[in-house]
Chains A and B, each alone.
Chain A
Amino acid sequence: MDDDQGMRRSVEELRQTFKSGKTRGVDWRKAQLRAILRLIEENEDNLFQLLQSELGKHPVESYRDEIGIVKKSVDQALSCIDQWMSPKKGWLPLLFFPASRTMLPEPLGVVLILGSWNFPISLILDPLIGAISAGNTVMLKPSELAPNCASFLAKIIPVYLDPKAIKVTEGGKEVSKQLLEFKWDKIFFTGSTKVGKLVMAAAAKHLTPVTLELGGKCPAIFDSLPNSDMKVAAKRVASGKWGACCGQACIGVDYMLVEQNFATTLIEELKKTIKMFYGDDMRNLKNISRIVNKVHFDRLRNLLEDPTIANCIVYGGSFDEKNLIIEPTILLDPPLDSEIMNDEIFGPLLPIITLDNIKESIEFINSKPKPLALYAFTKNQIFKKQILSETSSGSVTFNDTMVQFACDDLPFGGVGESGFGRYHGKYSFDTFSHEKAVLERSFYLELEPRHPPWNVFKLEFLRSAYDYNYLRMLLLLLGLKKP
């Protein structure tokens, strides 16, 4: 889309399509969902290649974090959509008799989905599944920082999906700004806190509801564990730090909290795990994604080159500027007021903060903005309970990392600085739906005391009515009881 006029026409067409009612039918929704499934199945190799070239993602990683996630979401949507769409009928007090109450989900209209570069396929297609399931028309704006994936989506989506109802706009900041000028019925944004604020401010002009999927510094609490558990836990931390797009993930582990006397054991185990997973030859690291671009590469390098930080490196720390690769790096106790301990890292650097007692981690976490995910490795049930009730985060995962993302029955979304609104499974459907309240009455049984002129009798009658005191209502009506 090259000009403003073209964009306007596209949005207008999406609105016309929505008005035509075409996207409301369950058949249309299912057909589009099946088309997404076909799209990823028929283009799997293509997608593997794209993700490999754009972010250095290994196909297994790509399947686990992007293609597989999308496939699973479509499968679930297809098997549940009839149930999601069905009106929910409910009980009403006798007072309203004869009457019925229903909650009917309806599509919001024309929605805008702004994707992110770190999971350039799934962060576009996964919300799209929700938007389609709910019966909306959709404008997609993939991130310009993963340009090959963006143009692939722009090319392939019109081939598989209804081009009058689902459109893709490519472009950067300027294009996003233009898009945000339009009136949308919902904006779904995945990205940074800074841009999230701009998106919401733009949405305010049109009273458009937003879902903001942001990030934050996700902590991993690491309690002292028996050796065999510790080995499993270290693998899971490594996987949650370096395994998903090389730390460039909103739910990736940002930093770890561990007891002083356990730190060495943990670091040794992490080193072993890194070697096993990725190898220790900087020139030949395997199975790890690269940094998305030079800007982010420099940002991460600057973090590390700060002398107070460089002193804390206990593992890794090498760069390959040409290939935009940064080695898995572990830092022990960087200063708490340093940039690396205050900004979201979004890269393969792992600070480990030592505490005298692991219980102090609760206070530590509470002193920072609410994270999208909180991880805790512990077998202590009391501590688990404390973590749950005394900290706040989008999600809490005990003894693992990242897997909550794949659990459809759990809502995925942040709180506070990590965003608001949620999706996945039924929550995706809800995010793009309005739950309309429907109350139906008949003309019979008009309760006279509802209407003026007011008098003491009517007041007493209504008091009883609200208390659902039917006997008293009856007695009042029959004149057997004085108001």
Chain B
Amino acid sequence: MASEQVKNSAFDTEAASCLVKELRHTVLAGKTKSYEWRVSQLKGLLKMVEERDKQICDALFSDLSKPEMEAFIHEIVLVKNSLKVSLKKLKEWMKPEKVKTKLGTFPSSAEIVPEPLGVVLVISAWNYPFLLSVDPIIGAIAAGNAVVLKPSEVAPAMSSLLKKLLEEYLDNSAVKIVEGGVSETSTLLEQKWDKIFYTGNGRVARVVMAAAAKNLTPVVLELGGKSPVVVDSDVDLTVTARRIIGGKWACNNGQACVAPDYILTTKQFAPLLIDSIKRELLKFYGSDPLNSPDMSRVVNSNHFSRLSKLLDDDKISGKIVHGGQTDKSELKIAPTIVLDAEEDSLIMNEEIFGPVLLIVTIDRIEDGIDFINSRSKPLAAYIFTNKKQLKEDFVSNISAGAIVINDISLHLMVDTLPFGGVGESGMGAYHGKFSFDAFTHKKAVLRRSFLGDAPARYPPYTAGKLRLLKALLDGSILGIIRALFGWS
């Protein structure tokens, strides 16, 4: 605690402003702009991931009891992939894009030149503390920016490991890490950034965006929400159950922004689905899931009591159809299923972000669409069905960051799909080329020659000039000729 305070007092507004000044200096010197620098940093990260994967896994275990397997496939490998794609494609991404110009500006040529935004701030989250810190940094570096990372203090082991590793493997004059909590974040947010990339919740996102407004800083907000899963009755039950479990409990025990929050299914089908989820859960985690090594724990006691409160709500007593066991000392909650909680219960209205899965029954599966649309737009919406029409209706009528048909969370592994929310689930997107774009300004460039100067543009204005202008804007060659010769 004492050392915590020392740290807090050390990072004040002056320190923050010094930090940003130093980075701005690096950017102005043009260092981060070159292809070579970007590649060297991306390679540095790749080296870091390859050499230190053990330490990364250990930190993830210490912060979240994350099983090594999850640590690998959801964090380390995704970061590695992201780096490989960026290294392979960077040259192509950095190329100016030629665009066509119209007759009205003839002779001319136009292009869109990607340029770095400058100095950017990445504020990451605790649930995937490695991935959500490094993946945005990859985009920021690929785009040629200097970066400050503020990792989440809720995952302290990863926070201090990142500080150590990034300092060791990256250019310290362009990439900095500031550890800390609310006070450090507020101090950082007072500074002027050229972009802020925030992963977290809607409440803090509003604070971040309001702070950004003072300096006209654009933001990417990666938030969450209650992501629904519609399960039709014509599905392969076993595969569906496995994929739901895979996306819910095998992804950081439900503490993921794209985790299924609730399932919508028909009254008749619900018992079948529940049975099959129970059966597969048993196969995955055994009969004593609290002691399964293959499941993460709840991150800390705050979240543990938040989740306990959701389950202790009178409105859902008697609705728990599976699980419900907790172990406060180990911060573990067993996979829990709640059937038809009351509409006004806490759990029906808050993002669960933990190992509790809601099942909501509806009369007809088509009603699922209205149910989802009556709530805030989620980050992801899932549907399991074999019906073509239902798929189409779901895709065209549901607004969500992403839609996945017959699987869960898999979209975030596809680097050719933009990953990001809409409405309450956030704004802006990243992954692959979209990460590069998120940290890039696309500068419009128009090149003209001194030839072909159309006098119609200039005063003194006449009726003939108006006619010529109309023809020019129309791009009609005949019209231009007629206007030029005064035939119209």
Q: Which A residues form the contact surface with B (CB < 8 A)?
A: 19, 21, 24, 58-61, 63-64, 68-69, 71-72, 75, 90-92, 96, 99, 101, 103-104, 106, 108-109, 185, 193, 196-198, 200-201, 203-205, 207, 209, 212, 214, 228-229, 232-233, 235-236, 238-239, 243, 276-278, 286-288, 366, 384, 388-390, 392-400, 403-404, 406-412, 415-417, 419-422, 434-443, 446, 450-454, 458-459, 462-463, 466
Contacts and interface: CB of A to CB of B under 8 A. Distances in A.
Contacts of B286: 453
A441 B407 contact: yes
Select the residue from A58, A207, A393 with max chain B CB neighbours within 10 A. Answer: A207
A277 B461 CA distance: 9
B292 to A, nearest CB: 8
Nearest to B384: A443
Contacts of A235: 453, 458
Contact of A63 (B246, B404, B469): B469
Interface string B50-84: 00000000000000000111101100010011000
A226 to B, nearest CB: 9
22 contacts: A63-B470, A101-B416, A103-B418, A207-B209, A232-B450, A233-B450, A236-B453, A278-B459, A286-B460, A389-B33, A396-B444, A403-B108, A404-B446, A415-B117, A438-B405, A439-B403, A439-B414, A446-B239, A453-B292, A454-B68, A459-B72, A459-B73
B444 A412 contact: yes
Contact of A388 (B104, B113, B414, B427): B113
B336 interface: no
B466 interface: yes
B421 to A, nearest CB: 9
Contacts of B391: 440
B212 interface: yes
Given A436-B401, A437-B403, A453-B292, 11 more contacts: A109-B423, A200-B212, A232-B453, A238-B458, A392-B115, A407-B105, A438-B403, A440-B391, A440-B406, A443-B235, A451-B242
Contact of B422 (A108, A239, A452): A108
A287 B442 contact: no
B399 A436 contact: yes
B236 interface: yes
Given A412-B444, A452-B294, A58 B235 contact: no
A440 B391 CA distance: 9
B424 interface: yes
Nearest to A453: B294
Given A96-B410, A389-B33, A398-B448, A209 B427 contact: yes
Nearest to B98: A409
A293 B373 CA distance: 47
Contact of A437 (B418, B466, B474): B418
B210 A201 contact: yes
Interface string B239-273: 11011011000100000000000000000000000
Nearest to B380: A437
Contact of B444 (A63, A212, A410, A437): A410
B470 A409 contact: no
Interface string B277-303: 000000111100000101100000000
B281 to A, nearest CB: 10
B112 A410 contact: yes
B214 interface: yes
Contacts of B242: 446, 451
A68 B469 contact: yes
Contact of A439 (B417, B428, B460): B417
Select the residue from A90, A436, A440 with max chain B CB neighbours within 10 A. Answer: A436
Contacts of B213: 197-198, 200-201, 203-204
B443 A451 contact: no
Interface in B420-468: 422-424, 426-429, 441-450, 453, 456-462, 465-466
Contacts of A203: 209, 213
B209 A396 contact: no
Given A388-B113, A400-B446, A441 B404 contact: yes
A128 to B, nearest CB: 18
B402 A406 contact: no
What 4 A-B pairs have minimum CB-CB distances, sorted nearest first? A287-B459, A200-B213, A204-B209, A60-B461
A410 B110 contact: yes
Contact of B68 (A197, A286, A408, A459): A459
B446 A403 contact: yes
A398 B426 CA distance: 38
A197 B466 contact: no
Select the residue from B411, B422, B453 with max chain A CB neighbours within 10 A. Answer: B422
B250 A399 contact: no
A72 B473 contact: yes
B477 interface: no
B102 interface: yes
Given A438-B395, A440-B405, A207 B443 contact: no
Select the residue from B77, B81, B101, B461 with max chain A CB neighbours within 10 A. Answer: B461
Contacts of B426: 207
A214 B461 CA distance: 29
A416 B192 CA distance: 10
Contacts of A104: 395-396
A99 B386 CA distance: 13
A233 B250 CA distance: 65
Chain B, interface residues (CB within 8 Å), range:
35 or more
A403 B459 contact: no
B221 to A, nearest CB: 7
B130 interface: no
B414 A462 contact: no
A348 to B, nearest CB: 13
Nearest to B284: A452
A87 B278 CA distance: 38
B99 interface: yes
A235 B450 CA distance: 11
B323 interface: no
Contacts of A388: 113, 443, 445
Contacts of A463: 72, 77
Contacts of A204: 206, 209-210, 212-213
B15 interface: no
A282 B478 CA distance: 40
B419 interface: yes
A214 B216 contact: yes
Given A72-B473, A235-B453, A459-B69, A277 B458 contact: yes
B135 interface: no
A437 B402 contact: yes
Contacts of B457: 64, 239, 243
A349 to B, nearest CB: 19
Contact of A392 (B70, B73, B441): B441
Select the residue from B68, B245, B427, B428 with max chain A CB neighbours within 10 A. Answer: B427
Contact of A462 (B30, B77, B223, B466): B77
Given A422-B442, A438-B395, A58 B459 contact: yes
A398 B446 contact: yes
A99 B407 CA distance: 10
Select the residue from B112, B416, B428, B456 with max chain A CB neighbours within 10 A. Answer: B416
B246 A450 contact: yes
B179 interface: no
Select the residue from B250, B428, B458 with max chain A CB neighbours within 10 A. Answer: B458
A61 B294 CA distance: 70
A396 B216 contact: no
B400 interface: yes
Contacts of A407: 99, 101-102, 105, 108, 110, 444, 446
B324 interface: no
Select the residue from B33, B401, B445 with max chain A CB neighbours within 10 A. Answer: B445
Interface in B174-210: 194, 202, 205-206, 209-210
A74 B131 CA distance: 44
Given A197-B214, A395-B444, A71 B473 contact: yes
Interface in B374-405: 386, 391, 395-397, 399-405
